[in-house]
Chain A
Amino acid sequence: MEGRPSNSQSEHVELLRKIREFTRAIVEDLSNGRSPTILIDRFRNYCKNPIANCYCSSDKSYGKEILTLRRESHVHRLDVLLRVLLIVQQLLHENKHGSKRDIYYMHPSVFSDQSVVDRAINDICLLMQCSRHNLNVVSVGKGLVMGWIRFSEGRKIFDCINCPNSANPVPVYVEEVKDIISGAHYILVVEKESVFQRLANDQFCNKNRCIVLTGRGYPDIPTRRFLRLLIEKLCLPAYCLVDCDPYGFDILTIYRFGSMKMAYDAKYMRVPEIRWLGAFPSDSENYSLPEQCLLPLTAEDKRKIEAMLLRCYLQREVTPWRLELKLMLQKGVKFEIEALSVHSLSFLSESYIPSKIQGGVHI
């Protein structure tokens, strides 16, 4: 656990007050011979009915979960929730930060799995009506950034402009990021580190005044919050480049709409402005990819695509994305961005990306 200045003192005080209030309510219920009834709001950022007149985009809760002492599954969840809450209370008191993994290792036999801790943290955020970073719980940052940008995080200065083709870690304490200066024309988000490194090797940011960011697969919270911060502060267009497969598409939707797991906090993390730059299923023909670069969709891929096609937000907000996804299913093939290098190693940085951005070939 790491000690550092963090959220404002008043935020801490307020959060600690809410934790005490929550504890007091439990003690009061027990003292009155009642089972504590813990109501947890439920959020979702999509439903599975593409033609529904739903409220998924409203950021409002659509129901509540009720935890009591009547069901064993509830009691176990409550046990984990309270244990994590006690750790959070200590973190806030001592003004320290801890990672989800740190918390997991405090009671590994009870938590049994990291996902159990993750769920408890989400529950606490919902109960305390705050975001995860307010709890002083941080993830181990894994995002990377490079390009025409300079900023500070606490006392640390990130001067990417000095060396625009070098990878820098995305700051973990995004709320402390200040003094953002940029000469970029756009932000490019790439799914994979391999593509990020390809662009770095090709001196992409020297030739194109931009900021390149990667979440290295499914993006973590700091990466998404940092991207959101950059767009808000710099008002730059953002483009996303992902593999042409169901996982690439899913990652794209997480940048655009947020994840279901953290739907309660989606409004602070989603980037509605982001544009899909590629790779589109139609690119295989447009860029004449040879057959051997195309892989057949597996049964699991098809199942995932079919499930994603039902997400209401695709039909409502990004119909062209949905059409491309449908096309992927129809064609029955997928390919990685690296497949575009079949023409030449630097095809991606010298031709594919610049031409798409200049030609407005994004959706």
Chain B
Amino acid sequence: MAFGVRSKTKESTMAFSSVQSLTLHLISSAFQRCRLSEQICRLSVIFNRSSPSLLQLVRISISDTGIGSCLEEFQDLKLSGEADSENWDGVLSVKTTSSDDNEIHHYQLNLKERGSSRRLNRLPSNTKNGAKFSGTEVCLAVPLNIDLLLAQITSFLQKILILKIHNVAIELVAENGDVPESRYEKVFLANQLPLPIVASNLELLKSGLEDYVVKHGNRLSTTCNSCFPSGEHLKVGVGIACCTKNHLYNGVMMEAVIVISEKQLTSTCPMVYGAKTEVLYFKNFSPYTISKASIKALKSIDWRRYGLNLRSALQQDSSALLEWENLPPYAQIDIVLHCYHKDKRMRLTAREKTQLERKLIREAVKLSLDDLKDKHVGVLLSAHALKIRSYAPDLAKTIAGLILSSGDSDFQGECFSLLGLQSQGLGTETVENSIKDKIVSVIDMNDKSTQKTKDVTSFLFYDDRFHQVDFEEMEYEDDFSPLDI
């Protein structure tokens, strides 16, 4: 859940513990209506404050030109805890129309009322005069610190851009009634970079995270040229997991994108996380608070297989923050997870959902790590591969020694040819470096997951236990000086 606590009290009822979380939900719903319309849409979030004092009543208007909304969307909303006792009247004013409607419906709902009949107040509709359009406006007036709310919503919308939903333009406006020059206005557009017209969700997510990273969490309007003078510094891996074993869960998809960015060593830009990774979480096309179970799933991944030593995994705001022990200071890792249900009719218990999500998170992250390794040689090498790599210089030196001291020029020529070297005027160092590069390349290839699968097959008949017994026996026999035999 983004920015606050929202819980499902019944299957379709949502309870909000703060007005802020309710506001974010209303913005997210408006965004979904725009997304589903598949037409170019506008989403406006406008705050209006009548006086500059901190906790004055703020009128919030959330309007969109997406598909119209249905009454149930609002009837299912409930307040709980603090939100219920907050100094707010609990009234939502809703105007909505679908493209097929002839009029604009107008309702008032009081979320603080308990009985459903008392909650809803139908107000006179407005005629559309034959015009064909759709949209919704939700208004509420709340006593809030506008600066805090503005920061939360800005962060929320910056994250929404990662989804790269192209047909929605979002504007965020804050007006102070008495001081016209204090007007704040910001536009959020997801379609700044050209993408294929028919791009999959995963492709969009990948592109969105790349943008997010190079703009330092979308806090900049353009790429940070100090850190990323060119796009080559990003290494990206993607993975998608869905449950195939149980047809009941078939509709749940988990997409993961991992970006490793290497900022320029000369960069003086302070806007980096350093040794920490922000894991952003989306659910059904909306920023969502990552659950403890999901953080547990992230912790349980065998990161060492990818050369990463995880120090801690904590929740920070709506995201998870993974802290690494061994990340170079110029490198940064960003991860985004998106879970969505293709089949909305699917009914799972909370426990089933948690288990499934944990499993899918692990799988999707692993797939994206593997994808990253496959695409970028030498990246995310396991601790094991790094150890083996440390032998490469010595191995190369000895093999070069065997070639160069062989005293057989034909043999040397044959080896140089295999190594792709010109025979004439070769120095020892050139031969050594060539062999070392080839050894390193083989080690890196072996470390890739695809190779690991093959290993299992090729060494099917290799039995280490057999060796173990034998060497014990040999040691047993060796109760004498090494010079003896």
Residues of A participating in the B interface, judged by any CB pair closer than 8 Å: 16, 19-20, 23-24, 26-28, 30-31, 33-35, 42, 44, 48, 63, 65-66, 69-72, 75-76, 78-79, 82-83, 85-86, 89-90, 93, 100-101, 110, 113-115, 118, 139-140, 142, 217-221, 247, 250, 259-262, 304, 307
Pairwise interchain contact A82-B395, C-beta atoms closer than 8 A = yes
CA distance A182 to B406 in the complex (A): 44
Interface residues of B in 304-318 (CB under 8 A from A): none
Pairwise interchain contact B395-A79, C-beta atoms closer than 8 A = yes
Q: Is B126 an interface residue (CB 8 A)?
A: no
Q: Taking the nearest CB of chain B, how far is it from the CB of A88, in angstroms? A: 10
Q: Is B484 an interface residue (CB 8 A)?
A: yes
CA distance A34 to B443 in the complex (A): 9
**Neighbouring A residues of B470 by C-beta, 8 Å:** 42, 44, 260
CA distance A24 to B470 in the complex (A): 31
Who on chain B is nearest to A46 by CB? B473
Pairwise interchain contact A85-B402, C-beta atoms closer than 8 A = yes
CA distance A24 to B283 in the complex (A): 56
Pairwise interchain contact B443-A93, C-beta atoms closer than 8 A = no
Q: Is B455 an interface residue (CB 8 A)?
A: yes
Give the one of A19, A23, A48 with max B CB within 10 A: A23
CA distance A42 to B473 in the complex (A): 14
Q: Which of A82, A113, A218 contacts B399 (CB 8 A)?
A: A82
Knowing A218-B485, A260-B474, A304-B476, say if A33 contacts B411 (CB, 8 Å). no
Knowing A218-B485, A260-B474, A261-B485, say if A35 contacts B442 (CB, 8 Å). yes
CA distance A278 to B483 in the complex (A): 26
Interface residues of B in 84-122 (CB under 8 A from A): none
**Neighbouring B residues of A35 by C-beta, 8 Å:** 442, 446
Pairwise interchain contact A69-B402, C-beta atoms closer than 8 A = no
Q: Is B418 an interface residue (CB 8 A)?
A: yes
Q: Taking the nearest CB of chain A, how far is it from the CB of B148, in angstroms? A: 54
Q: Is B439 an interface residue (CB 8 A)?
A: yes
**Neighbouring B residues of A304 by C-beta, 8 Å:** 476
Who on chain A is nearest to B470 by CB? A44
Q: Taking the nearest CB of chain B, how far is it from the CB of A349, in angstroms? A: 26
Pairwise interchain contact A219-B485, C-beta atoms closer than 8 A = yes
CA distance A66 to B459 in the complex (A): 9
Q: Which of B399, B442, B476 contacts A23 (CB 8 A)?
A: B399
Pairwise interchain contact A72-B388, C-beta atoms closer than 8 A = yes
Knowing A23-B403, A79-B391, A86-B398, say if A30 contacts B445 (CB, 8 Å). no
**Neighbouring B residues of A140 by C-beta, 8 Å:** 483
Pairwise interchain contact B402-A114, C-beta atoms closer than 8 A = no
Q: Is B124 an interface residue (CB 8 A)?
A: no
Give the one of B446, B476, B477 with max A CB within 10 A: B477
CA distance A250 to B476 in the complex (A): 11
Q: Is B232 an interface residue (CB 8 A)?
A: no
**Neighbouring A residues of B384 by C-beta, 8 Å:** 72
Q: Which of B399, B406, B408, B474 contacts A261 (CB 8 A)?
A: B474
Pairwise interchain contact B484-A142, C-beta atoms closer than 8 A = yes
**Neighbouring B residues of A82 by C-beta, 8 Å:** 395, 398-399, 402
Q: Which of A33, A78, A262 contacts B445 (CB 8 A)?
A: A33
Knowing A27-B403, A66-B462, say if A221 contacts B485 (CB, 8 Å). yes
CA distance A65 to B459 in the complex (A): 11
Q: Taking the nearest CB of chain B, how far is it from the CB of A3, in angstroms? A: 17
CA distance A235 to B2 in the complex (A): 94
Knowing A24-B411, A72-B388, A261-B478, say if A79 contacts B439 (CB, 8 Å). no
User: Can you spell out 15 A-B residue pairs with CB atoms less than 8 angstroms apart?
Assistant: A19-B406, A27-B403, A27-B415, A27-B418, A34-B442, A65-B467, A69-B442, A82-B398, A83-B394, A83-B398, A86-B401, A89-B406, A139-B485, A142-B483, A260-B474
Q: Count chain B residues whose beta carbon lies closer than 8 angstroms to a beta carbon of A.
A: 46
Q: Taking the nearest CB of chain A, how far is it from the CB of B307, in angstroms? A: 15
Q: Taking the nearest CB of chain B, how far is it from the CB of A311, in angstroms? A: 10
Pairwise interchain contact B435-A27, C-beta atoms closer than 8 A = yes
CA distance A142 to B482 in the complex (A): 12
**Neighbouring A residues of B462 by C-beta, 8 Å:** 66
**Neighbouring A residues of B395 by C-beta, 8 Å:** 75, 78-79, 82
Q: Which of B414, B480, B485 contacts A262 (CB 8 A)?
A: B485
Knowing A65-B467, A86-B398, say if A220 contacts B403 (CB, 8 Å). no
Pairwise interchain contact A24-B484, C-beta atoms closer than 8 A = no
**Neighbouring A residues of B435 by C-beta, 8 Å:** 27, 30
Who on chain A is nearest to B462 by CB? A66
Interface residues of B in 450-485 (CB under 8 A from A): 455, 459, 462, 466-467, 470, 473-474, 476-480, 482-485
CA distance A207 to B323 in the complex (A): 85
Give the one of A16, A44, A69, A101 with max B CB within 10 A: A69
**Neighbouring B residues of A113 by C-beta, 8 Å:** 482
Q: Which of B391, B415, B439 contacts A24 (CB 8 A)?
A: B415
Q: Taking the nearest CB of chain A, how far is it from the CB of B328, in angstroms? A: 23
CA distance A219 to B480 in the complex (A): 10
Pairwise interchain contact A307-B476, C-beta atoms closer than 8 A = yes
Q: Taking the nearest CB of chain B, how far is it from the CB of A32, in angstroms? A: 8
Task: List 19 additional contacts besides A27-B403, A89-B402; criterion CB under 8 Å.
Answer: A20-B408, A20-B411, A23-B403, A23-B411, A24-B414, A27-B435, A31-B420, A33-B438, A33-B441, A63-B466, A69-B388, A72-B387, A72-B388, A79-B395, A85-B402, A93-B407, A139-B484, A142-B484, A261-B485
Who on chain A is nearest to B437 by CB? A30
Interface residues of B in 410-452 (CB under 8 A from A): 411, 414-415, 418-420, 435, 438-439, 441-443, 445-446
CA distance A33 to B470 in the complex (A): 33
Pairwise interchain contact A118-B403, C-beta atoms closer than 8 A = no
**Neighbouring A residues of B480 by C-beta, 8 Å:** 217-218
Pairwise interchain contact A30-B394, C-beta atoms closer than 8 A = no
Q: Is B349 an interface residue (CB 8 A)?
A: no
CA distance A139 to B485 in the complex (A): 7
**Neighbouring B residues of A79 by C-beta, 8 Å:** 391, 394-395, 398
